[in-house]
Amino acid sequence: MKSFLSVDTATISHKEYDAIVVGSGAAGLFCATKLSSLGLKVCVLTKDAADVGSTKLAQGGIAAALSKEDSPDLHFNDTLKAGAGLVKTKMARILTEEGVKRVIDLIRMGANFETNEKGLLKFTKEAAHSVARIVYYKDKTGEEVERALLDSYRGDIIEFAEVKELIVKNNRCYGVIYEKDGKINAIYAPVTAIATGGAAGIYLKNTNPPTSTGDGIAIALRYGAKLQDLEFVQFHPTAFCDDSECFLISEAVRGEGAIIVDEQGRRFMGDYHHLWELAPRDVVTRAIECQKKICGGNVYLDFRPIEKKGIDIFKRFPTITSKLFEKGLNPKKDLIPITPVAHYYIGGIAVDSFGRSSIEGLFAVGEASCTGVHGANRLASNSLLECLVFGERTAYGMYRDWRYLRQDFSPIGIKLNQKSVLSNNKFSLKEVQEIMWKNVGIVRSAESLTKAIDKLSEIANSNSDWQVRNGAVLGLAITISAMRREESRGGHYRSDFPYEREEFRKHSTFTLSDLERLI
């Protein structure tokens, strides 16, 4: 079931580059910029316009030990605590120690962050951080980061290019096949990086752009790449949702003093964790869901304590407050109804500390990868930092491997035979999203997961659009991984196994062979 296409790559137009980066978010652009500076001819492929993606939507900021009260050791310890026993310590050391330099690099590239009257960086605090260490730009840090990276990148970019297949032979990647304007094209290169973002978009309620549906991860799985920790999905506790959309209300809002109250106006988070609203995200998420059942009705975010501290919420959070005004809500006066939604994908393509996957010549970086740095539950604002730190390291890994992979490299013609399907039915991505939200969401059980496996198997074996089938394939992998982990840890909660179990204090892996019975 490797290919969803039937095409002979020898008969279609193709180009050759030194390196391919699939994705134009922070991870992909930081990696591509570094590769270009090393003298490689680089091509970035992106599913939409270059500035469309999760990076641009990031509100909170970037965690880095840049303040005088902070240190990489302190940041490292906070990362370990948030990760619920599964953080890879080597990766966390790399993240927190190299992160300081990478944020400074970003500033050198022209990114702006908030400063005080003396010109010193301002820092804010988010959940599970012991000190204020997050640099930010208003409430649209990601947009500013994306702007700076696009301004700095000097290589080629092909926009609105949907990467549909890898070109792999004998466990070695030779490039990608993509569709643009209805035409199939191939790009060959000795090294390729997948930086396509996460997979929260395969959940019905999510904060991600429409592009974040896990395609890059699913494609890598179909060609034999090893995946890791697929069961861990981080649900953000504070989003505003109506019939038309869900949008994030950054954790930085709580970091500045906003509180969470129930239908009776009672501040309840102290019943669940001593850090109240700044408890780890998985704790806040489940607390909100539990309180809804206990009290009935909605749960709300109250911005008014921020105003009492003398902070103008309209200046501090212009994007969020203007969005709420569009919905008829005034955060200076109104309680804002909130709900947890799928937000960040912790699992992904298993990589080493230089971004190498289990397929030679294929790398992964950013949310599409799984470095193990987040463990079972990501520490707030470590995601953009991971993009920078491992974006740079992946570029060096690609450069090192390119130097010898190019020696015997040449374009190859490969016949991609479409897998025969068991069903001529056609399904929509929304149907995948509904299955994942209902059965593989915040609270899971063997019963719900079994239902998801049955339904997703049918979709994966159908005649549906390639993106729908990719979503079903990855959804199946997530569901099977969740079924195998018979415990609750971090972003993975099983109602039939509600506690952590020491025998599961280990990373899970997933390969194509794990799907053979179902697809």
pLDDT tens track for 245-260: 899 998 889 989 999 9
Q: Are residues 309 and 371 in the same domain?
A: no
pLDDT at 450 over 70: yes
Whether residue 350 is contained in a domain is answered as yes
For 80, how many CA atoms within 13 A lie in the half-sphere containing its CB?
14
Residue span of the structural domain in which 208 resides: 7-230+346-406
How far apart, in whole angstroms, are the C-alpha atoms of residue 439 and residue 447?
9
Query: Are 25 and 198 in contact, with CB atoms under 8 Å apart?
Result: no
191-231 pLDDT, tens per residue?
A: 999 999 999 999 999 999 888 999 999 999 999 999 999 99
Whether residue 516 is contained in a domain is answered as no
pLDDT at 64 over 90: yes
CB count in 10 Å sphere of residue 465: 14
Whether residue 507 is contained in a domain is answered as no
Query: Are 211 and 195 in contact, with CB atoms under 8 Å apart?
Result: no
pLDDT at 421 over 60: no
% of the chain exceeding 70 in pLDDT? 96
Report how far apart, in Å, the C-alpha atoms of 36 and of each of 402, 407, 468, 472 are. Answer: 13, 20, 34, 36
DSSP 329-387: --TTTSPEEEEEEEEEE--EEE--TT-B-SSBTEEE-GGGEE-SSSTTSPPTTHHHHHH
Q: Read off the pLDDT band of 12 (50, 70, 90).
A: confident
Whether residue 437 is contained in a domain is answered as yes
Residue 256's identity, in one-letter code, is: E
Q: Which of 102, 254, 281, 286 is catalytic?
A: 281
How far apart, in whole angstroms, are the C-alpha atoms of residue 155 and residue 3?
29
Q: Are residues 226 and 375 in the same domain?
A: yes
Q: Are residues 484 and 350 in the same domain?
A: no
Q: Which helix (H) or strand (E) holds 309?
A: none
Report pLDDT for 494: 97
Question: Which CATH number goes with the domain that contains 495?
Answer: 1.20.58.100
Residue whose C-alpha is closest to residue 366's, from 220, 481, 187, 195: 195
Report pLDDT for 408: 87
Which three-class secondary structure state does DSSP give residue 511? coil
269-282 pLDDT, tens per residue?
A: 999 999 999 988 88
- Mean pLDDT score across all residues of the chain: 93
pLDDT at 8 over 70: no
Whether residue 508 is contained in a domain is answered as no
Residue whose C-alpha is closest to residue 301's, from 257, 271, 244, 245: 257
Q: Are residues 208 and 297 in the same domain?
A: no
Report pLDDT for 389: 98
Residue 404's identity, in one-letter code, is: Y
How far apart, in whole angstroms, are the C-alpha atoms of residue 96 and residue 73?
8
pLDDT at 288 over 90: yes
Which is it for the CA torsion 204, 207, 209, 214, positive or negative? negative
Q: Are residues 430 and 460 in the same domain?
A: yes
Whether residue 469 is contained in a domain is answered as yes
500-510 pLDDT, tens per residue?
A: 999 999 999 99
Question: Which CATH number goes with the domain that contains 265?
Answer: 3.90.700.10
Based on its alpha-carbon atoms, the radius of gyration of the chain, rounded to whole angstroms, reads: 22
Q: Is 267 a catalytic residue?
A: no
- Domains identified in the chain, total number: 3
Q: Are residues 289 and 253 in the same domain?
A: yes
Q: Are residues 67 and 162 in the same domain?
A: yes
Q: Are residues 337 and 387 in the same domain?
A: no
Helix-strand-coil split of the chain, %, nearest 5: 40, 20, 40
Query: Are 189 and 16 in contact, with CB atoms under 8 Å apart?
Result: yes
Question: Which CATH number goes with the domain that contains 389?
Answer: 3.50.50.60
Whether residue 411 is contained in a domain is answered as no
Q: Are residues 207 and 66 in the same domain?
A: yes
Q: Are residues 255 and 163 in the same domain?
A: no
Whether residue 413 is contained in a domain is answered as no
Q: Are residues 74 and 105 in the same domain?
A: yes
Q: Read off the pLDDT band of 130 (50, 70, 90).
A: very high
Q: Are residues 384 and 472 in the same domain?
A: no
How far apart, in whole angstroms, are the C-alpha atoms of residue 164 and residue 470?
10
